[in-house]
Amino acid sequence: MADLIKLSDNGDTRAQFILGDLYAKGKGGLVKNTDKAKHWFNQSALNGYGASFIRLGALAKNQGNMIEAYSWYDLGASLAGGKDARYAAKARDALKLSDADEDKADELSTAWRKERSAASDAREEAERAKRE
């Protein structure tokens, strides 16, 4: 577990996803913790791991937050690629939100994209500092 946490802390997207999954299910000796699961799935999504969007959408849906779920599925449909993108699009469309709720979900997606851009800029700056 220590190695998985270290890999996750160092930006390994697959390790972040696995850690999120372990927290979501309360497995691997970890206590079920939805907040920690969301954190690790979000980190994995920020780093481009497509399946993370689906898991974030499912967590939001299971908590009854259909607007947030729609946002995660929509992000997955546009950013994940392949079968993950197709699954995310189907899950998004199955929610059948009103136009007003879709607009709210779009606002969440826009905010997340800004967060992703800022995180990317920070990573690039850190890498630039290491080289100097």
Q: Residue 66: count other Cβ atoms within 10 Å of its Cβ.
A: 16
pTM for this structure?
0.90
Q: How high is the pLDDT of residue 2?
A: 87
Contact 112, 75 (CB under 8 A): yes
Query: What's the CA gap between 87 and 100, in Å, rounded?
Result: 23
Mean pLDDT over all residues of the chain? 94
Tens of pLDDT along 9-67? 988 999 999 999 999 999 999 999 999 999 999 999 998 899 999 999 999 999 999 99
